[in-house]
Structure 1
Amino acid sequence: MNLKHIQAVAFDLDGTLVDSIPDLANAANAMREHLGLPPLAAERIQSHVGDGIASLVHRAITDERHAEADGPAWERGYRYFIQHYREHLTDHTTVYPGVRDGLALLRARQLPLVLITNKSERLAVPLVEELGLRDHFSLILGGDTLPEKKPSALPLLHACQVLGIPPQDLAMVGDSANDVAAARAAGSTAIAVRYGYADASTLGADLAVDSVAELYDLMKND
């Protein structure tokens, strides 16, 4: 696929740039213990990730994808989760291979990079700062930055407006159905990473890559 028209690249965070499941699972299980519940396997926590911390807390309490926890339990759990997770944000979270090189190569080509995540901004910003990724991004949009988050097109359209580019010249790189749906809704190119939390072959992206560093060759103008 020819990506030479791309003028900016947006990236998802969890499952795309970083593997945050160990710290999310630890926070979720610390919360469950606080609420008198037994721990869940990390794989279960991973299956509940992707729609922001508020949804993750509901799912981590109920261990169901579409259930909601009791209001007081959710509030107590949410407060505890946020406090624990913020204090252990990058204890075991790692940057995927090829991400640092890939971001640096794209920046060297003077392509603006945007972080669009459903993780709340107050957690996403310190996370990328602690992992040394913050300076790569011209703009960071969390799940609570705007009135809507992925799979809505709004974060992508907002990024395009800020950058002064048409949506069709933006590529959205992610690992989930939310990322692909947001790109489709915005009219942008959807790129899936094969190493993420979902099976890339099921997402219906325009193309899939094994590494962020692959994007450099796909977007070369010469």
Structure 2
Amino acid sequence: MSIKAYAFDLDGTLVDSIADLARAANAARADLGLQALTEDIVERFVGDGAASLVARTIAGDISAEFTGTALQQQGLVAFNKHYLAGLSIATRFYPEVQATLATLHERGYPLAIVTNKPERFTLPLLRELGVREHFDLVISGDTLAERKPSALPLLHVAEKLGVNPGELLMVGDSINDVLAAQAAGCPVVVVSYGYGSDVESFNADHIVQRFSELLEFVDA
């Protein structure tokens, strides 16, 4: 495998943000007169952007879709307010992430973020975490016309970084990451510790238990 650049998912891959997402989602539910959900339930709803998260948390149902109803719009406004007020209260990097990113950066590899998280949250969160400078490109869920599992974000990253899709390694934790990579013709590695369940069934090129294993896999 000849890897010349890396693309990383954010939530569930680089950082554990469930506590802050659940806090904001439950604050929005409280504004709507609804009872709080557990963090485990909110975790199941993460991965398809803020609007989907709001629709699912309002309904308490992973199959709920954001259709723009008045209640959903009200919930989204409330979620935006509460989440922006506390993007990094409890959000933390997973073990070995910072050191591994620093190593890749020092080796001169172009690094990108490809997340379904909206830009209004992604960019300030990266700044608050102190890693914005590591990334040459940040593609959020609303940066382009399509988001993961579409191939478009990864094809855009490959073009901007000047590499072939087959030379861009996607690292994520969800089926959306795998489907996007496969559609774009990129190799894909899945972390075992993220928010995705049954990752063995995703048919990724490799599964890592620890983030630092990424270096061993690529250097092999």
**TM-score between the two structures when normalised by the length of structure 1:** 0.95
Q: Report the CA distance between 1:35 and its aligned residue.
A: 0.3
* SS state at 2:171 partner: strand
Q: Distance in 2 between matches of 1:196 and 1:173?
A: 11
Give deviations 1:78-122, integer Å, cap 9, x for gaps. 001001100100001111001001101111221111000000011
Report the counterpart of residue 215 of structure 1 in structure 2.
Answer: 214
Report the counterpart of residue 135 of structure 1 in structure 2.
Answer: 133
Query: For the Cα contact (< 8 Å) 1:103–1:213, is it kept in 2?
Result: no
Structure 2 residue 12 is matched with structure 1 residue 8: no
Q: Report the CA distance between 1:59 and its aligned residue.
A: 0.3
Report the counterpart of residue 59 of structure 1 in structure 2.
Answer: 56
Percent same amino acid among aligned pairs? 49
Gaps of 5+ in 2: none
Q: Quick one: which of 146, 166, 169 aligns to 1:171? A: 169
Query: For the Cα contact (< 8 Å) 1:105–1:213, is it kept in 2?
Result: no
Q: Report the CA distance between 1:65 and its aligned residue.
A: 1.4
Report the counterpart of residue 119 of structure 1 in structure 2.
Answer: 117
Report the counterpart of residue 157 of structure 1 in structure 2.
Answer: 155
Amino acid at match of 2:86: H
Report the counterpart of residue 16 of structure 2 in structure 1.
Answer: 19
Aligned residues: 218
Q: Quick one: which of 30, 34, 50 aligns to 1:33? A: 30
Q: Distance in 2 between matches of 1:164 and 1:119?
A: 24
**TM-score between the two structures when normalised by the length of structure 2:** 0.96
Q: Distance in 1 between matches of 2:206 and 2:180?
A: 15
* SS state at 2:30 partner: helix
Gaps of 5+ in 1: none
Q: Which deviates more from structure 2 when the two are superposed, residues 16-25 or residues 127-136?
A: 127-136
Report the counterpart of residue 41 of structure 2 in structure 1.
Answer: 44
Q: Distance in 1 between matches of 2:69 and 2:62?
A: 17
Q: Report the CA distance between 1:132 and its aligned residue.
A: 1.2
Q: Distance in 1 between matches of 2:205 and 2:17?
A: 25
Report the counterpart of residue 204 of structure 2 in structure 1.
Answer: 205
Give deviations 1:25-45, integer Å, cap 9, x for gaps. 000100001001111111000
